Amino acid sequence: RRAQVDVTEATRRELIANYEAALQTAFREVADALAVRDSLAERMAAQQAQVGAATRSLSMAEQSYRLGASSQLELLDAQRQLTAAQLGLVALRQTEQSNRVLLLRVLGGRWTAGG
């Protein structure tokens, strides 16, 4: 009988240790996801500013080209820069959405199809 009590107690201690390890992992995952979210917010703001600057640059290049003050190559370069900035923004938005899903998962959230 004493051996059975010892086995039960050892099992209980093991379960508690596993639970504590799972909690520590969960807290670390949440903290990591929140840190990434904060970093992404800063990067998104910077990328949006870059898209805005590239948009203004393209507008000026178009005006300059229409007036004959610049070449088509300069216009194409401004278009390329805007496209690159927009692609960077799309990539960051995708990363941001992936981070939201990760954060929901590590917080134990669930979602259902259709809402």
Q: Which residues contact 46 (CB under 8 A, 6 or more apart)?
A: none
Q: Are 82 and 58 in contact (CB under 8 A)?
A: yes
What is the number of alpha carbons within 13 Å of residue 34 lying toward its C-beta?
Answer: 8
pLDDT in tens, the chain (115 residues): 889 999 999 999 999 999 999 999 989 999 999 999 999 999 999 999 999 999 999 999 999 999 999 999 999 999 999 999 999 999 999 999 999 998 888 888 776 655 4
Closest of 111, 99, 114 to residue 37, by C-alpha: 99
How many whole angstroms separate alpha carbon 62 and alpha carbon 54? 12
Q: What is the pTM of this model?
A: 0.73
What span, in angstroms and rounded, lies between the C-alpha atoms of 115 and 32?
Answer: 27
Question: Is residue 112 within 8 Å of residue 71, measured between CB atoms?
Answer: no
